[in-house]
């Protein structure tokens, strides 16, 4: 009986192993099922001028090496998407690997809400590239339309290099570095005209700074201001490395606001080279009248004046002091 049982078990095992060898191999049986990976996202719930935010912005990438693709605009009190903004791929460089590597350091610098057209509604600004070069921080700007409850791309504002919005003066200043490590630049100051269908920028002031004396780091500013429909030259300044700006051309009243703002960059001196200077000698005492003549600058002597050894008066004074 025992031998019959062992024989039956052996037959069963043989049949099973034969069936396994005869069956075709299933290559997909052990392969894991594909997983759907959701896009990489960054979610922003930003303050809008001290009030509760109206919208939540969800920035979406399709993968780690992907550029930013879309921005979903959702109502803050729900998950309803009211608008999807397609990010221009030829104008924005925000790769997830570069953004997500240190999210705590870069998250708040990518997107923000600010009233760019001074209509009391916060607009959406998106940094164009990360990382960005110093002095070249530019944005894509979508202006909020309260009638349609949508953000509309502003081509004019998105084209500005390194813009700075001033809510007090309601002006936008744009600066473009042109050379000499930032010492040469073009600065444009705009007002905003929102009366029409499209928001327009009106150039009010243009300042061009160029190098006058590279060796001594002296610069020159040419300032033009809107008069009617055109920009008119109103002032020319010389910016020395030390001391106050000098007025080369234009009236005192016209140049005064720009002289106060001008801040020339001077090289850092070594302790042995540092010295004090009386800036009162650089005060502008000229009359408030235009002039086309270049202002002359008094050259300061580098060494104190010495008495001539051949001066008779000097010899007599020394003889008298010795006698005493």
Query: Structure pTM?
Result: 0.67
CB neighbour class for 237 (10 Å; exposed up to 12, middle 13-18, buried from 19): buried
**Residues sharing a CB contact under 8 Å with residue 298, sequence separation 6 or more, in sequence order:** 281
Count CA within 13 A, CB hemisphere, residue 13. Answer: 6
216 pLDDT tier (thresholds 50, 70, 90): confident
Instruction: Give CA torsion, residues 78, 83, 89, 90, to 10 deg.
Output: -140
Tens-place pLDDT, residues 257-301 = 998 766 544 444 333 333 333 333 333 443 443 333 333 333 333
Max CA distance (Å), the chain = 150
Q: What six digits make up the tokens of 10?
A: 């052996």
Look at residue 102 in the predicted model and tell me its pLDDT: 58
pLDDT reported for residue 204: 96
d(CA 238, CA 220): 5
Q: What was the pLDDT predicted at 47?
A: 72
What is the model's pLDDT at position 259?
85
**Mean pLDDT lowest for which of 163-172, 274-283, 308-317?**
274-283
Q: Looking at the predicted structure, is the pLDDT value of residue 21 above 70? A: no
248: left (phi > 0), else alpha (psi -120 to 50), else beta?
Answer: alpha
Predicted confidence band at 53 (pLDDT cuts at 50, 70, 90)?
Answer: confident
Place 38 in a pLDDT band, splitting at 50, 70 and 90.
low
DSSP result, 194-237: -SSSS-EEEEEEEEEEEEEETTTTEEEEEEEEEETTEEEEEEEE
Please tell me the number of Cα atoms within 13 Å of 311 on its side-chain side.
8
What confidence score (pLDDT) does residue 215 get? 83
Alpha helices in the chain (DSSP H): 2-22, 96-100, 103-110, 155-158, 252-261, 312-323
């Amino acid at each position: 009986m025992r031998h019959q049982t062992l024989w039956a078990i052996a037959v069963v095992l043989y049949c099973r192993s034969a069936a396994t060898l005869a069956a075709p191999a299933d290559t997909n049986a052990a392969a894991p099922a594909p997983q759907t990976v959701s896009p990489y996202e960054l979610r922003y719930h930003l303050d809008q001028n001290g009030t509760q935010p109206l919208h939540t912005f969800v920035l979406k990438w399709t993968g780690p090496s992907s550029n930013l693709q879309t921005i979903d605009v959702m109502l803050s009190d729900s998950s309803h998407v009211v608008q999807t903004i397609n990010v221009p791929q030829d104008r924005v460089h925000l790769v997830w690997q570069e953004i997500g590597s240190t999210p705590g350091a870069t998250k708040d610098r990518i997107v923000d809400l600010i009233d760019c057209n001074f209509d009391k509604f916060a607009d959406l600004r998106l940094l164009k590239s990360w990382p960005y070069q110093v002095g070249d921080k530019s944005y894509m700007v979508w202006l909020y339309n309260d009638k349609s409850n949508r953000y509309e791309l502003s081509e004019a504002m998105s084209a500005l290099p390194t813009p700075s919005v001033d809510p007090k003066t309601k002006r936008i200043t744009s600066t473009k570095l042109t050379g000499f490590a930032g010492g040469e630049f073009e600065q444009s100051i705009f007002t905003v005209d929102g009366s029409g269908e499209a928001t327009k920028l009106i150039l009010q002031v243009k300042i061009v700074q160029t190098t006058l004396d590279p060796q001594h780091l002296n610069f020159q500013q040419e300032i033009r201001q809107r008069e009617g429909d055109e920009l008119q030259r109103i002032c020319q300044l010389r910016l020395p490395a030390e001391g106050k700006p000098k007025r080369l051309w234009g009236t005192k009243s016209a140049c005064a606001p720009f002289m106060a703002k001008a801040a020339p960059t001077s090289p850092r001196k070594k302790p042995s080279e540092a010295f004090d200077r009386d800036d009162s000698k650089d005060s502008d005492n000229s009359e408030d009248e235009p002039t086309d003549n270049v202002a002359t600058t008094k050259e300061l002597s580098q060494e104190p004046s010495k008495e001539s050894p051949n001066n008779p008066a000097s010899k007599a004074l020394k003889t008298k002091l010795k006698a005493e």
